[in-house]
Structure 1
Amino acid sequence: MRPAVVVATAFLFVSSAWAQQESTDDSSSDLLRGFEGKIELDVRDSKPDWTPFMPKKAPEGAPNILFILYDDTGQAAWSPYGGRLSMPTLDSLAADGLIYTNWHTTALCSPTRSTLQTGRTHWINGYANVAEGAEGFPGYSTRFPREVTTIAEVLQSNGYATLWLGKNHNVPEVDVAPGGYRGEWPLQKGWDRFYGFLGGETNQWYPFLVKDNDFIEQPYMPEDGYHLSKDLADQAIEMLRNKNASNPSKPFFMWFNPGANHAPHQAPKEWIAKYKGKFDDGYDAYRVWVTKRMKERGIIPENTVNTAVNPLPKDLANPLDYVRPWNTLNDQEKQLFNRMAEVWAAYSSYTDHQIGRVIDYLKETDQYENTLIIYAADNGTSGEGSPNGSVNENKFFNSFPDSLEDNMKYIDKLGGPDTYEHFPTGWAAAFSAPYKFFKRYSEYEGGTADPLVISWPKGIKARGELRHQYHHSTDIVPTLLEITGLEMPEFNHGVKQYPLYGVSMAYTFDAKPDAPTQKRVQIYEMFGTRGIWKDGWHAASVHVPLGGKGDFDQDEWELYNMVEDRSQSNNLADKYPDKLKELRDLWMEQAKENNVLPLDDRLAVEIITVPRPTEEPPRDTYRYYPDTEPVPEGVAVNVRGRSYKILANVEVTDKTEGVIFAQGSRFGGHALFIKDQKLYYVYNFLGIEPEQVFESDVTLKPGKYTLGMAFEKTGKGDHGETLGETKLYVDDKVVASGKMRTQPGKFSFSGEGLCVGYDSEDAVSTLYKAPGKFTDGTIQGVAVSVKGEPYLNLELEAKRIMRRQ
């Protein structure tokens, strides 16, 4: 049996005496409500009562909670489920607890993470899409409404230390700004501490870090052994040590969210070497191999069918999600794709090793037995590497194809700082076996069926057992509330709260593996894909995410009996039309209740580049000044698909070097800088070599200058890129010119911002080394104009637009 805990009946920092005391007409009584001491004229004759002023303590016996959440990992990847990825820490936790075989997510990261914080559906939370995909509709706002309270706030207000490490992705992109609104940042949502990154992904070698409410530089560099997974484990242990030094009896809730296994896939060389040759049989063979292993371990029923890797006809499928059959690949492609799988596996195992250090610390300090540990993933394996894989995942979000020739140049550098890697769709399908598709497909298990292991030695008797009950990410918060003996408040901050959508899974701790589930219904939708589960039946719309086709009313719907057909291989729509109609009607009913509509299946580059309101209205000219914190892309000047110019007033010496202006990284970005007394402008188009370099044909002698560049748009390329002519200026003189292309989509999802006087994180150009600090000179400021007008008098224009308003 689980240890008994005391149910807390109050949520805010208010004593029960205060909460229950009847009001009186005596104003002095109102002022002293809840105070049980004695107040006289002289303090010597008075009796203190600290109770009303002290924060609440956690319920007696309440466990610590450690929630480890990976990204982009299907069931078929990890060793406890039969996969080929060695996860010793996870194996040990599974042996000490329970393996869930029928747990589900939303099919995408931001939405799932929102449900794990609130226990409501992702549309109710405003997260129908990722944080970068906000729209002006209730389900798409990417801001938690006032009617939802996070589990962190509940625990924090009831005596828990709340500690968050790693990925966030629940802060709107426009709020990831040095001087912006911080209401959605972790510390404003119930977390005592935060150390990690706010965006959907970050470079594991050069992360864009935030500590609490401030942007910070990484503590040391890759050449000194830095990797984000190691750093997060170091910080987690430090946070726990600091808590124990002052508050050893206070339980903690720690959310540990590594960058793994999301792109970029990056890991130390020695860990990649451990997997050399482990995937040489290819992804088609892996699906067969792992499905058999999953059956042997009881993860899936014996009658489960291994579904086709390309479930949809070509005319209905998104070509970026197509899986190229292994036997059609040439030797170079097989070599490249296998190496990419080795890197991904190493990334996962290395991170599991770092998590093991945190678990070891809990054991060393006698905290392990009463720590509820949840180890899970937030959606199916990612297919965003397209059929050919990518050395720069950002190509996917710019709808730009990869080529074998480009990728093969980097085969020996995969996983290191020179690549922003993502493996091909074939491996996404393999690591999501035996189900259809992968991440983003919410109508099929390949997008939503995820690994989940729960260990709690003091509270769960079972060891190494399976649990087959159907559950969802919305069910985690109700589970935590039950095991801590706490309640979600009916009112918070003066606002009545939405009811929880999820149900507690705590009954499964003591249940038999096949005991009936207490879940009754679960709705799904992502990028226009739709599904609904009810009492073992599942209806699924045949729709392609990020396909840009619309026509939702024309979608065919399929019907599956999930009790008998775990992988959705046998469509029963024709056999049971009444059941299908019942579920379709229920889907629409649930959609209206949960803010699901409108549906949006547009291409990623379209969704990401939608104009969105910011605290500062869009303008023709943006001014930036030296040595401020990086300005994130979501609130910086937008130069995508348009003519623009960059102007800087500077004073140089014969020793001046460094970055004047930089935005993005080596995997997509542009920079204006001085090197060897010459002015350079580099536009790094999606990291594709060679860089587009414009070098001045004159040297800069000591003095004051207006330096700049101008790009004039002339047309569009085959993949949406903007084509045009660039001119480099020193005062009014053109010192270099030539043709140039610019990206249609974002420079990065990592959070690298616009900088003046240095380059944050990873250098845009190989011609200088980060941070490329501007030295032995002065930058008055930089202005970026998107008016599209030609230069008149450069010096006068620079003075005009740099003038503070």
Structure 2
Amino acid sequence: MSTTKTALAFIAALLLATSVRAQQKSADDSSPDLLRGFKGKIELDVRDSQPDWKPFMPPKAPEGAPNILFILYDDTGQAAWSPYGGRLSMPTLDSLAADGLIYTNWHTTSLCSPTRSTLQTGRTHWMNGYANISEGAEGFPGYSTRFPKEVTTISEVLQANGYATLWLGKDHNVPEVDVAPGGYRGEWPLQKGWDRFYGFLGGETNQWYPDLVKDNDFIDQPYMPEDGYHLSKDLADQAIEMLRNKNASNPSKPFFMWFNPGANHAPHQAPKEWIAKYKGKFDDGYDAYREWVTKRMKEKGIIPENTVNTAVNPLPKDEANPLDYVRPWDSLNDQEKQLFNRMAEVWAAYSSYTDYEIGRVIDYLKETGQYENTLIIYAADNGTSGEGSPNGSVNENKFFNSFPDSLEDNMKYIDKLGSPDTYEHFPTGWAAAFSAPYKFFKRYSEYEGGTADPLVISWPKGIKARGELRHQYHHSTDIVPTLLEITGLKMPEFNHGVKQYPLYGVSMAYTFDAKPNDPTHKKVQIYEMFGTRGIWKDGWHAASVHVPMGNKSHFDSDKWELYNMEEDRSQSNNLADKYPEKLKELKDLWMQQAKENNVLPLDDRFPVTIAGLPRPSEEPPHDTYKYYPDTEPVSESVAVNVRGRSYKILANVEITDKTEGVIFAMGSRFGGHSLFIKDNKLYYVYNFLGIKPEQVFESDVTLKPGKYTVGMEFEKTGQGEHSEFLGETKLYIDDKVVASGKMRTQPGKFTLSGEGLCVGYDSGDAVSTLYKAPGKFTGGKIQGVAVSVKGEPYLNLEQEAKRLMLKW
């Protein structure tokens, strides 16, 4: 036999053997199955072979599987929205409620990142690594802010089973250190089962100047506020575009869209024409609103007739966190009432405007025949936010820097509230009002004010009931099991190479056909946030009395309360003394559940403390950082940290007679600093929490064409009354001091959004009013910028530049 014939015979025999092995592979054969799933026929000649496309086709969703649209607001208690009796007009939500079900007893974790993690996995937030927000990561299993391999997201399941997965808006489940251009992408949406993402990764963003990511890249916003931009409008536009593009090529493919607007989280920002719609609507004040809305909620059947409207301050003033205290309405002066009412008007407009934009997405579904078989979930992630402090704020970042607001300063902005000039948050009084009739608000996990949230579900094809209430007790962990049941899919037992944690939640699908007061299928739910603790079991609720972020730290001596939630919806009647055995049972159950769910250790420290904790990153910390022009913004979480330190900024620049623009910028008008050239002069501005006037250092000489080393130096000398850092600043051109003076710096972060460190421009909202964003550096050249936090005073500037490896 010739060599050629021998080779052909060998190949044919090998193919036959491979085909047989593919069909008859023994259980103990560990060799790879090269033809797994292939049912065709393979011969030497393709003309004699039979193709089988099935193994190579994308997965197909189950026949008749519904579309899923999940709309998730931020920071909104039950007492806000119109379907629940609130004063905020929500026509889109009203229409969905009339077409479906209103849930009166649905709960969340009391904080955004944790709740959002449960909505993705069906496990408790500690099992997801989200004991608190992504900015609060700590080196414990429950606090890592990284989903462990043992959890699979609902988007992964749906994507693997033929769904288009589309995410718009807020994420807040990416570790802070990963929100960076060159950072680890493993926790970003596209790595968690999402086909598309358009939104922001952090906990909040400026609604006029958002920090946008499209899929895996940071992008600039498509147009500016002066041209009509607002994030809520942009998200609705992008949602419709995503659906339109999907339908153009795959109209029969169902979608899972998660629509997460910035509303109603700070900053509270809305178009002025929408704010005008609410003028005077809250003039009765938050104490009166609380009484008014409780009555309305009873009339609508949201809460039982016997529900007591609890005290606006559940704890004595000397025992409460002073930042969470509610000032009685009658104690306010006329200016304060005017300011606080205006803040409520802005927040209401923010919510209603966003609801209008969401309505455009719903209209598109109706116009394209997709509405009837779309399961629409419309909910909020925790109680209304009290992070505006008792006095409200025109810059919410003051709260996270433990810096008080001044009525005099805030009144200057009363006509600008909601505009790009403010980063507003209303006072705690409105947080309590919009979380009525319950105790407290966001962050308090032991009481309904932090955890009882609105939830409306509409699915015309799958739910027969229209406009009915459902009183069954449920939680955010129950959404994933519900979606699995209605799609006929299962959470994998093994994924990511490991066995998966069991689901904690239970399906709510039975409620679609239930009667309003049928028994719940839920048996137990544990709560904890910033040291506040609670547990619900079979209608009973035990709550620890603890002040979050109050440096109490005596968890073992916390007093526990007991409530019968079937009879006392607002937790007004403490039965701890009457039923001590029941209380002990629930306390023991809490500890058991805590150990099973990675809840410990407890942490109740202040935000500025937790946010400032040292955390490992891919890049170890340095005392000198070098940056170069025109890279994407470097997130504050991984950029040089100048908080509470002496520091210096140096840059090598080449100047012409036409040079203008930003050399270095970090932060925004609500807190940040910037080094720039304007009118042939060098400027350094430190914008302390947006408080006017800006701290401006202007060179006393003009720059002529040539090459320079320019920079500034801050030498810390002490601390002020509110933990701000005080010191002396000098501005340099080569070796000459061209400006100097006293300066104060923030103890906490410039922003919770993603506005980062930039060289050669200023992303988003400009740090200083002396230039307009992006303030791009033109007419010259920036070789590089170095920032040193080593604490050493300046040497000769030429030597300093060489030491920092900046030399021409």
Task: Give TM-score scaled by structure 2 length.
Answer: 0.97
Residue 442 (structure 1) aligned with residue 445 (structure 2): yes
What whole-Å deviation, never above 9, does each CA across 1:318-376 have from its counterpart, x for those lacking one?
00000000011111000000000000000000000000000000000000000000000
Query: SS at the partner of 2:664?
Result: strand
Counterparts of 1:107 and 1:367, CA distance in 2: 33
What whole-Å deviation, never above 9, does each CA across 1:423-472 have from its counterpart, x for those lacking one?
00000000000000000000000000000000000000000000000000
Counterparts of 1:495 and 1:20, CA distance in 2: 28
Q: Which residue of 2 aligns with 1:399?
A: 402
Q: Which residue of 2 aligns with 1:542?
A: 545
Alignment of 1:367-516 (within 5 A): 367-516=370-519
| Contact 2:22–2:35, Cα closer than 8 Å, also in 1 | no
Counterparts of 2:349 and 2:32, CA distance in 1: 65
Residue 697 (structure 1) aligned with residue 720 (structure 2): no
Structure 1 residue 181 displacement after superposition: 0.3
Question: Quick one: which amino acid aligns to residue 480 of structure 1?
Answer: L
Partner residue of 1:268 out of 268, 271, 278: 271
| Contact 1:781–1:802, Cα closer than 8 Å, also in 2 | no
Structure 1 residue 33 displacement after superposition: 2.4
Counterparts of 2:637 and 2:364, CA distance in 1: 39
Partner residue of 2:750 out of 739, 747, 752: 747
Residue 242 (structure 1) aligned with residue 245 (structure 2): yes
| Contact 1:118–1:150, Cα closer than 8 Å, also in 2 | yes
Q: Which residue of 2 aligns with 1:656?
A: 659
Question: Quick one: which amino acid aligns to residue 764 of structure 1?
Answer: V
Question: Quick one: which amino acid aligns to residue 546 of structure 1?
Answer: M
Residue 74 (structure 1) aligned with residue 73 (structure 2): no
Q: Which residue of 2 aligns with 1:5?
A: none
Residue 797 (structure 1) aligned with residue 800 (structure 2): yes
What whole-Å deviation, never above 9, does each CA across 1:145-189 have from its counterpart, x for those lacking one?
000000000000000000000000000000001011000000000
Q: Which residue of 2 aligns with 1:552?
A: 555
Cα distance change, pair 64–580 in 1 and its aligned pair in 2 (3 A): same
Structure 1 residue 803 displacement after superposition: 4.8
Question: Quick one: which amino acid aligns to residue 44 of structure 1?
Answer: R
Q: Which residue of 1 aligns with 2:14?
A: none
Q: Which residue of 2 aligns with 1:58?
A: 61
Partner residue of 1:328 out of 324, 327, 331: 331
Query: SS at the partner of 2:658?
Result: strand
Q: Which residue of 1 aligns with 2:90?
A: 87
Structure 1 residue 654 displacement after superposition: 1.2
Counterparts of 2:83 and 2:359, CA distance in 1: 15
Structure 1 residue 28 displacement after superposition: 9.2
| Contact 1:74–1:446, Cα closer than 8 Å, also in 2 | yes
What whole-Å deviation, never above 9, does each CA across 1:191-241 have from its counterpart, x for those lacking one?
000000000000000000000000000000000000000000000000000
Counterparts of 2:62 and 2:636, CA distance in 1: 44
Counterparts of 2:174 and 2:606, CA distance in 1: 22
Question: Quick one: which amino acid aligns to residue 592 of structure 1?
Answer: K
| Contact 2:108–2:476, Cα closer than 8 Å, also in 1 | yes
Partner residue of 2:229 out of 226, 229, 247: 226
Partner residue of 1:732 out of 735, 742, 746: 735
Query: SS at the partner of 2:780?
Result: strand
Structure 1 residue 406 displacement after superposition: 0.8
Q: Which residue of 2 aligns with 1:294?
A: 297
| Contact 1:18–1:34, Cα closer than 8 Å, also in 2 | no
Q: Which residue of 1 aligns with 2:181?
A: 178
| Contact 1:713–1:724, Cα closer than 8 Å, also in 2 | yes
Question: Quick one: which amino acid aligns to residue 534 of structure 2?
Answer: G
Residue 211 (structure 1) aligned with residue 214 (structure 2): yes
Residue 199 (structure 1) aligned with residue 165 (structure 2): no
Percent identity over the alignment is 90
Structure 1 residue 793 displacement after superposition: 1.1
Partner residue of 1:591 out of 590, 594, 597: 594
Q: Which residue of 1 aligns with 2:715?
A: 712
Counterparts of 2:728 and 2:345, CA distance in 1: 42
Q: Which residue of 1 aligns with 2:724?
A: 721
Counterparts of 2:33 and 2:650, CA distance in 1: 63
Report the count of equivalent residues: 788
Task: Give TM-score scaled by structure 1 length.
Answer: 0.97
Question: Quick one: which amino acid aligns to residue 111 of structure 1?
Answer: P
| Contact 1:21–1:33, Cα closer than 8 Å, also in 2 | no
Partner residue of 1:767 out of 770, 794, 800: 770
Q: Which residue of 2 aligns with 1:14?
A: none
Q: Which residue of 1 aligns with 2:285?
A: 282
Q: Which residue of 2 aligns with 1:533?
A: 536
Q: Which residue of 1 aligns with 2:361?
A: 358
Question: Quick one: which amino acid aligns to residue 645 of structure 2?
Answer: R
Q: Which residue of 2 aligns with 1:13?
A: none
Partner residue of 1:189 out of 180, 189, 192: 192
Runs ≥4 residues deviating over 6 A: 17-21, 24-29
Q: Which residue of 1 aligns with 2:783?
A: 780
Counterparts of 2:193 and 2:337, CA distance in 1: 47
| Contact 1:623–1:784, Cα closer than 8 Å, also in 2 | yes
Query: SS at the partner of 1:500?
Result: coil
Q: Which residue of 1 aligns with 2:41?
A: 38
What whole-Å deviation, never above 9, does each CA across 1:746-797 have from its counterpart, x for those lacking one?
0001110000000000000000000000000000000000000000111221
Structure 1 residue 24 displacement after superposition: 6.4
Question: Quick one: which amino acid aligns to residue 300 of structure 1?
Answer: I
| Contact 1:115–1:474, Cα closer than 8 Å, also in 2 | yes
Structure 1 residue 32 displacement after superposition: 1.8
Query: SS at the partner of 1:572?
Result: coil
Structure 1 residue 41 displacement after superposition: 1.0
Query: SS at the partner of 1:710?
Result: strand
Structure 1 residue 802 displacement after superposition: 2.9
Question: Quick one: which amino acid aligns to residue 462 of structure 1?
Answer: A
| Contact 1:782–1:802, Cα closer than 8 Å, also in 2 | no
Question: Quick one: which amino acid aligns to residue 279 of structure 2?
Answer: K
Query: SS at the partner of 2:315?
Result: coil
What's the Cα RMSD here? 1.3
Counterparts of 2:635 and 2:33, CA distance in 1: 48
Structure 1 residue 34 displacement after superposition: 1.3
What whole-Å deviation, never above 9, does each CA across 1:295-337 have from its counterpart, x for those lacking one?
0000000000000000001221000000000011111000000
| Contact 2:786–2:806, Cα closer than 8 Å, also in 1 | no
Counterparts of 1:185 and 1:584, CA distance in 2: 37
What whole-Å deviation, never above 9, does each CA across 1:488-513 have from its counterpart, x for those lacking one?
00000221000000000000000000
| Contact 1:77–1:83, Cα closer than 8 Å, also in 2 | yes
Query: SS at the partner of 1:669?
Result: strand
Cα distance change, pair 623–285 in 1 and its aligned pair in 2 (3 A): same
Q: Which residue of 2 aligns with 1:629?
A: 632
Structure 1 residue 18 displacement after superposition: 12
Cα distance change, pair 28–142 in 1 and its aligned pair in 2 (3 A): closer
Counterparts of 1:303 and 1:470, CA distance in 2: 18
Which is greater in Rg? Answer: 2
